[in-house]
């Protein structure tokens, strides 16, 4: 497992790049939740395939929309599962660069960093994406 990772938290897809290996994960940014307990049942492709095929209490949610985090708790759990899928554990603590939407607040940026740290990363650097789409404000 590479010691350096880069994660792009996108509104449509989340990408994970490992130094020396290239793109190791490309999953839709979708989370399937039990609406009664808010438990994460599946993420990415697994959650996407559950849409319309599950009981009414299981809902698919996009935790990022329009360049902003709409549900931070779900985003944090999704990030944790993604890091574990690419082999991050308490024994293997890689350096991580996370590309976050520029529209998120400073509090949300710190929370993303904390989520990655809790999931097992050793050092986190955040990079901001600049959106130039109509109606989306850019910040540096």
Task: Between 1 and 112, name the one with better pLDDT.
Answer: 112
| Arithmetic mean of pLDDT, 9-21 | 89
* Tokens describing residue 132: 């130039």
Q: Write out pLDDT tens, residues 28-79.
A: 999 999 999 988 899 999 999 988 888 889 998 888 887 777 887 888 888 8
pLDDT at 131 (0 to 100)? 45
Asked if pLDDT for residue 2 goes beyond 70, the answer is no
Q: Write out pLDDT tens, residues 74-130.
A: 888 888 888 888 887 767 788 888 887 777 788 878 877 887 787 777 777 767 665
How do the domains of the chain map onto residue ranges?
Answer: 4-26+68-129
May I ask the CATH class of domain 4-26+68-129?
Answer: alpha beta
What sign does the CA torsion over 27, 11, 79, 38 have?
A: negative
pLDDT at 16 (0 to 100)? 93
Sequence-distant (≥ 6) Cβ neighbours of residue 49 within 8 angstroms: none
pLDDT at 138 (0 to 100)? 40
Q: Judge whether 126 and 100 are in contact, CB under 8 Å.
A: yes
């Amino acid at each position: 497992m590479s010691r350096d990772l880069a994660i792009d938290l996108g509104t449509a897809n989340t990408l994970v790049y490992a130094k020396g290996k290239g793109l190791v994960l490309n999953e839709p940014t979708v989370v399937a939740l039990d609406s009664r307990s808010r438990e994460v049942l599946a993420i990415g492709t697994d959650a996407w395939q559950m849409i319309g095929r599950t009981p009414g209490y299981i809902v698919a949610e996009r935790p990022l929309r329009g360049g902003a985090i709409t549900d931070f708790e779900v985003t944090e759990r999704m990030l944790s599962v993604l890091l574990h899928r690419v082999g991050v554990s308490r024994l293997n603590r890689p350096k991580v660069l996370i590309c976050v939407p520029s529209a998120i607040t400073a509090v949300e940026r710190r929370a993303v960093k904390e989520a990655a740290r809790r999931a097992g990363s050793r050092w986190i650097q955040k990079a901001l994406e600049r959106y130039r789409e109509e109606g989306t404000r850019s910040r540096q």
